[in-house]
Chains A and B, each alone.
Chain A
Amino acid sequence: MSEGTRICGIGHSVKRKEDDRFIRGRGRYVEDVNLPRMLHMALLRSPLAHARINAIDASAAQAHPGVVAVVTGKDLEAHKLAWMPTLSGDTQAVLATDKVRFQGQEVAAVIAEDPYVARDALELIAVDYDPLPAVVDPFQALAPEAPLIRDEKEGQADNCCYRWQAGDKEATDRAFAAAEVVVKLKTHYPRCHPAPLETCGCVADVDPATGKATIYMTSQAPHAHRTLFALVAGLPEHNIQIISPDVGGGFGNKVPIYPGYVVATAASLLLGRPVKWIESRTENLISTGFARDYHMEGELALDRDGTMRAVRVKLTSDNGAFFADAQPTKFKAGLFHIVTGSYDLKAAHVEATGAYTNKAPGGVAYRCSFRVTEASFLIERLVQNAAYELGMDPAELRRKNFIRADQFPYRSATGFVYDSGDYHRALDLALDKVGYAALREEQERLRREGGDKLLGIGIASFTEVVGAGPAKDYDIAGLKMFDSAELRVHPTGKAILKIGVQTQGQGHETTFAQIVAGELGIPPEDVLVQHGDTDNTPYGLGTYASRSTPTAGAATAVVARKLRDKGRKIAAHLLEAAEEDLEWHEDRFRVKGVPEKSVTIQDVAFAAYTNPPEGLEAGLEGVHYYDPPNMTYPFGSYVVAVEVDRGTGEWKVRRMVAVDDCGVRINPMIVEGQIHGGLTEGYGIAAMELITFDEDGNCIGSSFMDYLLPTAWETPKFETYATVTPSPHHPIGAKGVGESATVGSPAAYVNAVIDALAHLGVRNIDMPVTSAKVWEALQRAGV
């Protein structure tokens, strides 16, 4: 066994270190935190989508045995806490004072000795509402006569939340004017919800003696949340400690700051006791960050021979009552302008308009880097429809227009610089593994025979943009999107790594230790990875948008290299050799040409504390803040084969072949696991996940009985493969993978269903593609 194998650095499927506590039931999630004298908070939420509040009478609740306090917006107003900033530069009501603007909005809070009592008392609060007309559709919201939702906002005369564009309008319009073929697709990427299995919550503990606020919180971005807390509450930042312990899934849902966190903290401050608030599932689904809700009109301009020229998109986004997406400041529709996808398009233009509606705020990136999922879906759907229009094979049309491997780094028409890729290789591998030609033959045969079964083959060849991001372009609420790592190697050669990002199941405690192992030769089991506690980790923007490996992963590699550089000086001292005569080999410095003359990293670490060379600072530790030079661009090709029942519209995935290229894979086992999860959430979005509303703004999809998630029974079986095209600018060549499969797969599933029906003239079914909708499409087609 070579040292490299023993050390298990990059490329090894090391079993996860975090599993040892989870399989014993010894994870520590926020709800597991119980503190002495802790109180429990429950929130009263609005039953109406839009209504003026005339009065709130909390006296009966206040008098209820076991109730310690009732808090309303008026109470918060006295402390200037009734409103808070969002991560997208808007404001959001903490507890409503003037109006309620969506069903489920926070109106009052009960703090009681017991969680059951807190909920009992909610029913004793009387709120006098004056109902107002609800606006539940963005087009209705943007119409001139629409009721004004954000009437409290200075200078806000309509329901427009933002207008934004990207790309070159003139060049794009010219390309369309000259185009031989224009393919159009109008589709709604529906509102869905990340629905992590653990809901949101916190335990706020403000120490009356010191004023220190310790807040255990379901947070994907603890440092950013600390800063926002300091700004909102006016608490000194050094006196706020946010601890995001084990997090039961995030998927973007735990990026925003929710009113419950703020109220619980204010209540703890006022009462001098810890306050716990844990959402119910219904609260999570109706009030916290939903995803998508994009109405998209896309057009693709092509030559008759299939050469793609330009893409043009008009977007209308439904942002709900408050703009709380958490998008980077410059990019109101996130990174949707990655809509040119994997194709060499010379012109592109995106025009986006956001609307306030009487629906819950959000638009968070559900396992997705800032609207990349919507963009990828649109271009991949357009390309398939273009193939039908031209009478070309969808795979062939893609191959003809892919950015070639020799074109990287490639500047896209909307200004991204794709770092690396080999799109032909990924698609060819997927087609080969699925047996594409044979499937097409079978499809033809089934159509000819006219039986009950139709076969459809859907492809998606996606390109993502992740790892936000370079400080010159990317910030959230002004905070630049670098990330950080601090590494301390102890005298015995064991180490502790502290990172600014926060795991929610991605396995950072293992993979980040492997990065250290790869750079310094300290085995992963000897590296403790800490994260999620703002007092004990360097500043960082958190984990979402597949940014942990591209940013904090890079910081980890760089800080380890800094320590190695220092270690070289110590090794030279120990070996009585010149630094330039030493070479690094896996876990040791060797004298060049005399490999048996060596010192290990453990020897070096011990000497750093016991025998440092004269003039060298003692110790072996460092910190690095990494500002990425560019984003990373993971890609892949997915091919799905579905069987559609012509009589009932039911569809079933027969094959799902996924080829992913996320650059260098730190831990292939964990990468595969991430892809499985994303393919499943992508399937859920394509097939069943839907948060919808009636005309009065009542949320339909407020429990897992109505908001459907895929179970093991309907989840397809996946066949996963890899190609590896390293990122040229990332220290270890990795790109990030957590979201590739959710970004790429919905289009593959939908394309497959449409493909089964394409010979009947069917070109679109909006997600979720339920069997009822497929049946209707078949009916319309006269089947």
Chain B
Amino acid sequence: MEITVTVNGTAETRDVEPRLLLVHFLRDVLGLTGTHVGCDTTGCGACTVLLDGAPIKSCTLLAVQADGRAVTTVEGLIENGQLHPIQEAFKEEHGLQCGFCTPGMMLVAKALIESNPDPSEEEVRWAISGNVCRCTGYTNIVKACRRAAAQIRQAEVAS
């Protein structure tokens, strides 16, 4: 069936099988391979994208369920050629190692900071607890999220 999903700001209209998962729509139909599949059962969060701004796990959502809605993937974090403060903070704080969980983590962080501009360490840990990282032990991911929040707050004050 034909669906239209706005992905990173661009309306994408495609004819898809009803059973196609959103993650495969993004990866295989649109070629956006930054979204990864880690568990196929909503257990690890590697496939997290934002659906109308809210983090969802794209491995257990059908592409047709995203029809008429807006999806943000890691490829959509860069704006006007500039890295998002979250991307910069993940590098700065060594918040990633193998990089497989990173896109999902950054998108959860984005949603968190939008709803809570100054999250405490506990609030960050709770927010990212649906996303598994096997490499970092989360310590530096938490630091990265809080650093990004501070950067965004500062930028808003400045503007």
Contacts and interface: CB of A to CB of B under 8 A. Distances in A.
Interface of A: 15-16, 18-29, 31-32, 34, 116, 195-199, 246-249, 251, 278, 280-282, 504-507, 669-670, 672-674, 676-681, 703-705, 709, 711-713, 715, 717-718
B44 A680 contact: no
> Which of B32, B43, B77, B141 has the most A CB atoms < 10 Å from its CB?
B43
Contacts of B64: none
Contact of A677 (B40, B97, B99): B97
B125 A713 contact: yes
B94 A673 contact: yes
A110 B19 CA distance: 20
B136 A197 contact: no
A248 B98 contact: yes
B15 to A, nearest CB: 15
B43 A705 contact: yes
A680 B133 CA distance: 10
B60 interface: no
Given A24-B87, A25-B32, A251 B134 contact: yes
Interface of B: 17, 19-20, 27-28, 32-41, 43-44, 46, 73-75, 77-78, 83, 87-88, 90-92, 94, 96-103, 106, 124-126, 128-142
> Which of A23, A25, A195, A506 has the most B CB atoms < 10 Å from its CB?
A23
Contacts of B40: 280-282
B19 A116 contact: yes
> Which of A28, A248, A505, A705 has the most B CB atoms < 10 Å from its CB?
A248
A713 B98 contact: no
Contacts of B138: 676, 680, 711-712, 715
Given A24-B74, A197-B101, A711 B91 contact: no
Given A25-B73, A31-B36, A506 B97 contact: yes
Given A24-B74, A32-B33, A507-B97, A197 B137 contact: no
Nearest to B35: A25
B43 A197 contact: no
A624 B99 CA distance: 30
A249 B100 contact: yes
B134 A504 contact: no
A711 to B, nearest CB: 4
14 contacts: A15-B91, A23-B91, A24-B78, A31-B36, A116-B19, A197-B38, A197-B132, A247-B98, A676-B136, A677-B97, A677-B134, A680-B137, A704-B41, A711-B128
A148 to B, nearest CB: 36
Nearest to A673: B94
Given A23-B96, A24-B87, A197 B141 contact: no
> Which of A199, A281, A703 has the most B CB atoms < 10 Å from its CB?
A281
B94 A25 contact: no
Nearest to A507: B97
Contact of B134 (A282, A681, A717): A681
B141 to A, nearest CB: 7
A709 B99 contact: no
A249 B139 contact: no
Contacts of B91: 15-16, 19-20, 23
A505 B139 contact: no
Contacts of A25: 32-35, 73-75, 77, 103
A198 B98 contact: yes
Contacts of B142: 712
Nearest to B46: A197
Contacts of A281: 38-41, 43-44
A18 B91 CA distance: 9
B80 to A, nearest CB: 14
Contact of A713 (B19, B39, B88, B126): B126
A715 B98 contact: no
Given A504-B98, A711-B128, A712-B128, 19 more contacts: A16-B94, A19-B90, A22-B99, A24-B74, A24-B87, A27-B99, A197-B134, A199-B38, A251-B134, A278-B37, A506-B97, A680-B136, A703-B41, A704-B39, A704-B41, A705-B43, A711-B129, A712-B142, A718-B137
A174 to B, nearest CB: 45
Contacts of A713: 125-126, 129
Contacts of A19: 90-91, 96, 99
A66 B60 CA distance: 24
A709 B75 contact: no
Given A19-B91, A31-B36, A677 B83 contact: no
Which A-B residue pairs are the 3 nearest by beta carbons? Answer: A25-B34, A704-B43, A505-B98
A709 B41 CA distance: 14
B31 to A, nearest CB: 8
Given A23-B83, A705-B43, A246 B99 contact: yes
Contacts of B136: 673, 676-677, 680
